[in-house]
């Protein structure tokens, strides 16, 4: 029973994210163009990938006996993977979203205009994506600069001096952050390529419908990219929460002097921020799934068939 409570707690950010995503979609159901056919199926699959992967990893993280029964080491490998898995899942999901739908009949040459990758994407999504990238990179750099080499020479440790002794714990150091930042840049590049694939082809004869579909698909690419990075950011914040608990005591004539990590006072804030980031990622990714759902009869009549 206790194990199930722990599992539910680990999944609670995803559950909360799902509730919020549905609530937002109900409130804004008259806005946006739902997708159907192949584009709708791909949106549903792509949006679910990061959420399902995050959920499975959370469950495995609190039930290591599952992997142990399979003969797999659940030690350092799991710790290293937690930072890369969200970004890798985001890349897979983006690849799904970038699969082109059925091409509409091209309009006349007079209707063809030069378009960029961001033509159908609102500036708000661009700002949100760049903001979470900046926060993620800033945290990665700060943690990396605070890290020191472990016995193997990898920058994975944070140490604190206590008298003549040093105590240490793991931190999101360069050993973890450099590969993750590389994968983050690949994710951003893939998102840009996906936006370009949506925007560049000539508009079809039904221009308004084609533009509406492209706006929805562009929004989905930006939302999914931001959501995948939010899952990655949640993993970083969760790791730093554990690091913040580092501490020790030094006995002196005046009493015991307690020494902790440089950001020990931020432990509760980091833990809450990790929860919020994971919920935010779930909201964004599940909102992509919900673009495949027609919510009202009126909307259903205007759903755009993007595949046979």
| The pLDDT of residue 218 | 94
Residue 278 reports pLDDT greater than 50:
yes
Q: What are phi and psi of 251, to 5 degrees?
A: -80, 125
Buried b (16+ CB within 10 A) or exposed e, 22-61: eeebeeebeebbbbbbbbbbbbbbbbbbbbebbbebbebb
Q: What is the mean pLDDT of the chain?
A: 82
| The pLDDT of residue 302 | 46
Average pLDDT for 64-90? 71
CA 36, CA 111: separation in Å to the nearest integer?
25
Which residues contact residue 87 at a Cβ distance below 8 angstroms, ignoring those fewer than 6 apart?
Answer: 180, 183, 184, 186, 187, 228, 229, 232
| The pLDDT of residue 286 | 96
Residue with tokens 């290293």: 80
Contact status, residue 218 vs residue 198, Cβ threshold 8 Å = yes
SS3 141: helix
Residue 124 reports pLDDT greater than 90:
yes
Stronger pLDDT, 23 or 167, i.e. the higher one: 23
Q: Where are the domains of the chain?
A: 2-100+117-305
pTM over 0.95: no
| The pLDDT of residue 168 | 74
Q: Where are the beta strands (DSSP E) in 58-217?
A: 148-149, 155-162, 165-170
Beta bridge partners of 160: 167
| The pLDDT of residue 117 | 85
Cα dihedral value 77, 83, 87, 93, nearest 10: 60
pLDDT per residue as tens digits for the range 178-219: 999 999 999 999 999 999 999 888 777 678 888 888 999 999
Q: Where are the beta strands (DSSP E) in 131-254?
A: 148-149, 155-162, 165-170, 247-252
Q: Own/partner pairs for 248-257, CB < 8 Å, 24+ apart? A: 248/160, 248/162, 248/165, 248/167, 249/162, 250/162, 250/163
């Amino acid at each position: 029973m206790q194990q199930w409570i722990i599992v539910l707690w680990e999944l609670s950010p995803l559950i909360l994210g799902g509730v919020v995503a549905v609530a937002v979609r109900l409130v804004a159901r008259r806005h946006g163009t739902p997708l159907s056919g192949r584009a709708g199926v791909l949106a549903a699959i792509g949006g679910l990938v990061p959420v399902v992967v995050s959920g499975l990893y959370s469950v495995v993280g609190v039930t290591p006996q599952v992997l142990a029964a399979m003969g797999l080491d659940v030690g350092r490998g799991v710790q290293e993977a937690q930072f890369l898995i969200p970004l890798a899942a985001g890349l897979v999901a983006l690849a799904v979203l970038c699969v082109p739908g059925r091409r509409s009949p091209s309009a006349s040459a007079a209707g063809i205009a030069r378009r960029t990758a961001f033509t159908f994407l609102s500036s708000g999504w661009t700002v949100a994506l760049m903001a979470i990238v900046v926060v993620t990179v800033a945290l990665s750099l700060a943690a990396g600069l605070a890290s020191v080499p472990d016995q193997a020479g990898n920058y994975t440790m944070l140490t604190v001096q206590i008298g003549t002794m040093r105590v240490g714990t793991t931190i999101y150091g360069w050993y973890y952050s450099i590969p993750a930042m590389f994968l983050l840049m690949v994710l951003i590049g893939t998102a840009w390529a996906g936006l370009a694939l949506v925007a560049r082809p000539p508009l079809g004869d039904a221009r308004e419908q084609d533009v509406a579909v492209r706006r929805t698909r562009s929004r989905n690419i930006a939302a999914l990219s931001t959501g995948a990075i939010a899952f990655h950011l949640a993993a970083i914040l969760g790791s730093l929460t554990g690091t913040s608990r580092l501490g020790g005591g030094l006995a002196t004539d005046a009493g015991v002097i307690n020494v902790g990590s440089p950001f020990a006072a931020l432990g509760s804030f980091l833990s809450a921020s990790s929860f919020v980031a994971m919920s935010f990622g779930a909201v964004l990714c599940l909102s992509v799934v919900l673009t495949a759902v027609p919510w009202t009869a009126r909307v259903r009549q205007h759903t755009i068939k993007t595949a046979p």
